[in-house]
């Protein structure tokens, strides 16, 4: 399995996952043109995308989904509440491309896809665990808070993309964000902070995870160095050197991440 985050942040999110028999996107929050450009950087033909899995209906996760599905005939998997919104916003998505899931697991060719609920201020929001044989990739962003169920999904995963949205003090002091927006982000239905992300990663130590990609960073209320420093400080307080545990990197809004490869064990 190969995974690459094409872009992550408030301006658009999309992640590419590939196996021998499947090529999928998780979310399509970049424009169709930008999705095509970033896939082509990976030498991926957009026409080869089998499916797009939608976490929720916010624009930074579905911006390009209508045009991409129509142009490249990719199937779109979304839950019922998300479909109610998507089908109204993009009324020309071919019917044969619209597939609904309702909490149950499903398959895309050789990929087993497991869904789990996350708390976010959307109609409905899910995370995904994608499994090929004995390797598991999990993506969990747009989390108001981290439930024990989410932690269990992360602990079972070889590679994790996890939200590290904001530095709390930076957000509170930001004069460009009104009080209501700050409260929304800090609420149990908003986004998790660097501190919460770090605390979540602490709970994953000693289990399967070998790589973590911090994602959905706020451009105004965070930075890669802030997110990484918060994590490293939390680990040091617990006398842990992350380099001995797993690889950590940060996803970028404006360019694809490194390509992460998960090899099945025979």
- Residue 263: per-residue pLDDT: 84
The answer, yes or no, to whether residue 67 has pLDDT greater than 90, is yes
The region of weakest confidence among 15-29, 126-140, 244-258 is 244-258
Give the pLDDT band (50/70/90) at residue 243.
Answer: low
Percent of the chain with pLDDT over 70: 97
Percent of the chain with pLDDT over 90: 86
**Could you tell me which residue, 239 or 243, shows the higher pLDDT?**
239
Give the pLDDT band (50/70/90) at residue 209.
Answer: very high
Burial of residue 96 (CB within 10 Å: 0-12, 13-18, 19+) is exposed
Edge-to-edge order in the sheet of strand 159-163: 106-108, 111-117, 126-132, 135-140, 159-163, 211-215, 247-250
Burial of residue 184 (CB within 10 Å: 0-12, 13-18, 19+) is middle
pLDDT tens column, 27-56: 999 999 999 999 999 999 999 999 999 999
The answer, yes or no, to whether residue 198 has pLDDT greater than 60, is yes
- Contact in structure between 145 and 159 (CB atoms under 8 Å): no
Q: d(Cα 116, Cα 128) in Å, to the nearest integer? A: 6
Cβ atoms < 10 Å from Cβ of 158: 20
The answer, yes or no, to whether residue 241 has pLDDT greater than 80, is no
pLDDT tens column, 113-126: 999 999 999 999 99
Q: Domain map of the chain by residue range? A: 2-261
- Residue 221: per-residue pLDDT: 97
- Residue 94: per-residue pLDDT: 86
- Residue located via tokens 């929050």: 29
Q: d(Cα 213, Cα 223) in Å, to the nearest integer? A: 14
Q: Please state the separation of Cα 92 from the chain's center in Å.
A: 26
Instruction: Select 2-261's CATH number: 3.40.50.850, 1.20.120.530, 1.10.540.10, 3.60.15.10.
Output: 3.60.15.10
- The string over 216-228, giving b where at least 16 C-beta atoms fall within 10 Å of a residue's C-beta and e elsewhere, is bbbeebbbeebbb
pLDDT tens column, 69-114: 999 999 999 999 999 899 889 988 888 899 999 878 899 999 999 9
- Residue 116: per-residue pLDDT: 95
- Residue 149: per-residue pLDDT: 95
For the chain, list the strands marked E by DSSP.
2-7, 14-18, 23-26, 51-53, 75-79, 98-101, 106-108, 111-117, 126-132, 135-140, 159-163, 211-215, 247-250, 260-261
């Amino acid at each position: 399995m190969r995974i690459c985050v094409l872009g992550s942040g408030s301006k658009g999110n999309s992640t590419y996952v590939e196996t021998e028999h499947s090529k999928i996107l998780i979310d399509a929050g970049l424009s169709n043109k930008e999705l095509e450009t970033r896939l082509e950087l990976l030498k991926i033909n957009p026409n080869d995308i089998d499916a797009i899995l939608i976490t929720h209906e916010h624009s930074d996760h579905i911006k390009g989904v209508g045009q991409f599905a129509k142009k490249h005939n990719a199937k779109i998997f979304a839950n019922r509440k998300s479909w109610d919104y998507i089908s109204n916003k993009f009324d020309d998505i071919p019917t044969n491309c619209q597939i609904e899931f309702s909490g149950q697991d499903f398959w895309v060719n050789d990929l087993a896809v497991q869904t789990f609920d996350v708390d976010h201020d959307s109609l409905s929001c899910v995370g995904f665990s994608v499994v090929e044989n004995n390797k598991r990739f999990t993506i969990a962003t747009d989390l108001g808070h981290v439930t024990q169920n989410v932690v269990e999904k992360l602990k079972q995963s070889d590679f994790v993309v996890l939200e590290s949205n904001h530095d709390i003090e930076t957000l509170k002091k930001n004069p460009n964000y009104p009080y209501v927006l700050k409260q929304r982000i800090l609420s149990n239905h908003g986004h998790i902070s660097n501190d919460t992300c770090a605390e979540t990663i602490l709970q994953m130590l000693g289990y399967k995870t070998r790589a973590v990609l911090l994602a959905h960073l706020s451009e105004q209320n965070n930075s890669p160095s802030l997110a990484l420093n918060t994590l490293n400080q939390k680990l040091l307080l617990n006398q842990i050197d992350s380099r001995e545990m797993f690889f950590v990197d940060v996803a970028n809004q404006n360019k694809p991440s490194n390509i992460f490869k998960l090899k099945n064990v025979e």
